[in-house]
Amino acid sequence: MLQTNPFSILAESIAPFAMQSFVIAMIILIAVGTVVQMIHHKNLTYFFNNAKKAKLSATKELGLGEKTSIIAKTTVVDIGTTSELGFGKRRLAHVLGMYGTILFWVSSAVLVFGYTGVGKSESVTWSLLWHVGAILTCLGGYWFWFFLRVDVSAEAHPWYRIIKADLFVLALLACATFGLAWSYTQFYNQTSLSYLFLALYVASNLILFGGVYWSKFAHMFYKPGAAIQKNLAEADGSRDNLPPPADAPEQFGLGIKREEPKHY
C-alpha cells in the first residue's frame, strides 16, 4: 500500500484533470485567504512600520553579505528546526508535523500532476513519501493535540476544548488521517469505505484551505518573516525598539526549582 499511488487508482473513475483542477483551486484559496487576512488584520502594515522604526534606531548598517548570512541562518536554524521552542517534546512534535506536512503536500502535487493519468508512469518513491508524510503529520499532530497543547498544560483546560485557532491543526490532521484511510481501503478494494474516506478527505481539504482566513494557516508565512526581522534587528542594533539586555545576572530565586517547567 505504501508504494502505491492512490491518485492513479482514483483516475480510473475520476479524470486526472479534475484532480489537478482541485489542487490548483486549493492553492488559489491559500493565496486569497492569506491576502484577505493580511488586509483585514493589517499584518503587512505592522511589519513595514516596525521595520521603518527599527531602521531609524539602528546603530549599524548591515551589508548585503551580512543580511544574506542572517537570513540563511534564520531559515535553516530558527525556521527549519523551530529552535524558538527549545529542546524537548514540543519542538520534536512540531518538527514531525512540519516536515510531514511539507512531504504530504509536495508529494500530493507531484503525484497528481506527474504520475496520474493515461500513459503516466508509477513512482514508488513519491508514493512512499506521500504516505510517510501523512504518517509523520499524524504523529506530530496527535502528539501535540493530546499531550502538549498550551492551554491543556498550562491553563488546565480539557483536551477536547476547541476554539477557532484550532481549525488549522484539526483540519490538517483530518486531511492526513482520512487520506491514509482512503488509501488503505482503496488498496484493499473496500469500495464503499473507500468512497466515504475520499469524500471526508476532500471535505477536510476544503475546510483546511478554504478556512485560511479564520485559522492559523497564514502564520506559516508570518512567523518566518518575523523571525528574520527579529534577527536582522538584533544584528543592526535596533532590537525592534526594545532596550538592550541588562548587565546584571539573571536572578530568579529558588522558586524556579520547585517544579518542572511546563508553562509555555
pLDDT recorded at residue 154? 64
Q: Does residue 261 lie in a domain region?
A: no
Written as nine digits, the cell of 150 is 498550551
Contact 170, 219 (CB under 8 A): no
Parent domain of 139: 6-54+88-232
CATH code at position 31: 1.20.950
Q: Does residue 69 lie in a domain region?
A: no
110-136 CB burial, b ≥16 within 10 A, e <16? bbbbebbbeeeeebeebbbbbbbbbbb
Q: Looking at the 3D structure of the chain, how many domains does it have?
A: 1
Q: Does residue 257 lie in a domain region?
A: no
Alpha-carbon distance of 147 to 143, in angstroms, equals 6
Q: Does residue 73 lie in a domain region?
A: no
pLDDT recorded at residue 21? 92
Number of H helices, E strands in the chain: 10, 0
Contact 114, 123 (CB under 8 A): yes
For residue 144, the 8-state DSSP code is I
Q: Does residue 75 lie in a domain region?
A: no
Alpha-carbon distance of 159 to 181, in angstroms, equals 24
pLDDT recorded at residue 23? 92
Q: Does residue 259 lie in a domain region?
A: no
Alpha-carbon distance of 174 to 202, in angstroms, equals 10
Q: Does residue 43 lie in a domain region?
A: yes
pLDDT in tens, the chain (264 residues): 788 889 888 888 888 899 999 999 999 998 888 888 777 777 667 777 777 776 777 777 777 888 788 888 888 777 777 766 666 777 788 888 888 999 999 999 999 998 887 777 788 899 999 999 999 999 998 988 887 776 666 666 777 778 777 888 899 999 999 999 999 999 888 988 988 999 999 999 999 998 887 777 777 777 777 777 777 777 777 666 666 666 666 565 666 566 665 555
* Residue 144 vs residues 50, 173, 225: alpha-carbon distances, Å: 32, 11, 24
Handedness of CA 56, 58, 64, 68 (dihedral sign): negative
Q: Does residue 258 lie in a domain region?
A: no
Q: What angle do CA 50, 55, 58 make, to 5 degrees?
A: 125
